[in-house]
């Protein structure tokens, strides 16, 4: 299992070229990346609250990104292709699917096997913000229709789609994730395990850490294609933090990943401070070696 990082963790810094960003990531000791085109200056793209993927990717951008990844020895294992798959406006969902196809084609060119998704929310302003209608049948049906169309795109381009259970989205429990995969019935739809995103309001307590992971592994442990190292602070709300600064039991997570036969990599996430990344990397490395 290689240890990588999500390039979005660098987006609070001024945008830089892929070569400079990947060089910094390699210097920090990471071995692979989950990549977002918004992370590099070549793409000249700023995510919106509905669409976090650019509509066009110029050949020169693909060449620059691919060359930088090869130069610095950083396999691109996942590319972000997130948009609001449950947005109440069908035009937003349709545009997201068009952009997903662009990214699926780009992933083939870059040799990346997985695209990450967001199951979405009925909140029209931001795809990671909850809405009281997320649990309705209408929200489920809209999201499912979008996901079925996404699976067709994935089949056409030969990529795997990865969604995650996220408290603010329509897919907000491991059970709903399992229901989604069983309904779509596509080998192209798999899961990202982000332990911090498994907690709902009021649940972020140390005594819940292992049980929450166990529930996720019971529901979709055999379908995980990417793992995130994001953490969550103890408290009544939801407050994410960098690896090892919260309540997630990372040695236990590493153990469960091994037991499940996980063949993917770990991408640290939620750090957003390059100066803190060596500590986070050391935390995960220690978790991997723990018995």
- Per-residue model confidence (pLDDT) at position 12: 87
**How far apart, in whole angstroms, are the C-alpha atoms of residue 279 and residue 232?**
16
- Nearest 5°: CA angle at 243, between 132 and 235? 45
16 bridge partner residues? 40
| pLDDT tens, residue by residue, 153-200 | 999 999 999 999 999 999 999 999 999 999 999 999 999 999 999 999
| pLDDT tens, residue by residue, 244-284 | 999 999 999 999 999 999 999 999 999 999 999 999 999 99
Percentage of the chain exceeding pLDDT 70: 100
Judge: domain 3-289, CATH 3.50.50.60: no
For residues 199 and 241, is the Cβ–Cβ distance under 8 A? no
Categorize the per-residue pLDDT at 79 as very low, low, confident or very high, splitting at 50, 70 and 90.
very high
Please state the domain extents for the chain.
Answer: 3-289
- Answer whether residue 14 shows pLDDT above 90: no
- Answer whether residue 291 shows pLDDT above 60: no
- Per-residue model confidence (pLDDT) at position 6: 98
- Answer whether residue 15 shows pLDDT above 90: no
| pLDDT tens, residue by residue, 202-231 | 999 999 999 999 999 999 999 999 999 999
Compute the average pLDDT of residues 224-247: 97
- Per-residue model confidence (pLDDT) at position 209: 97
- Nearest 5°: CA angle at 19, between 18 and 20? 95
pTM above 0.85, yes or no: yes
């Amino acid at each position: 299992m290689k240890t990588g990082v999500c390039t979005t963790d660098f987006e609070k810094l001024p945008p830089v070229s892929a070569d400079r960003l990947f060089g910094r990531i390699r210097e920090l000791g990471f071995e692979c990346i989950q990549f977002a085109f918004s992370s590099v200056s070549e793409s000249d793209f700023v995510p919106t609250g509905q669409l976090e993927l650019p509509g066009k990717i110029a050949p020169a951008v693909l060449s620059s990104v691919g060359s930088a990844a090869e130069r610095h020895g950083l396999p691109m294992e996942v590319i972000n292709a997130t948009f609001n798959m449950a947005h109440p406006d069908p035009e937003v969902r349709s545009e997201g699917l068009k952009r997903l196809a662009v990214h699926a084609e780009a992933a083939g060119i870059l040799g990346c096997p997985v695209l990450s998704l967001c199951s979405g929310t009925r909140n029209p302003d931001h795809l990671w913000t909850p809405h009281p209608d997320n649990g309705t049948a209408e929200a489920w049906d809209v999201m499912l229709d979008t996901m079925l169309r996404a699976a067709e795109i994935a089949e056409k381009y030969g990529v795997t789609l990865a969604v995650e259970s996220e408290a603010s989205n329509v897919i907000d429990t491991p059970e709903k994730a399992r229901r989604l995969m069983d309904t779509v019935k596509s080998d192209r739809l798999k899961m990202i395990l982000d332990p911090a995103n498994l907690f709902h309001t009021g649940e972020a307590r140390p005594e819940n850490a292992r049980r929450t992971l166990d529930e996720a592994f019971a529901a979709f442990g055999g379908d995980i294609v990417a793992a995130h190292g994001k953490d969550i602070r103890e408290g009544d709300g939801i407050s994410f933090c960098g690896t090892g600064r919260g309540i997630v039991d990372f040695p236990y997570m590493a153990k469960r990943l091994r037991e499940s036969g996980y063949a993917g990599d770990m991408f640290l996430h939620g750090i957003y401070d390059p100066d803190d990344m060596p500590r986070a990397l050391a935390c995960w490395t220690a978790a991997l070696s723990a018995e």
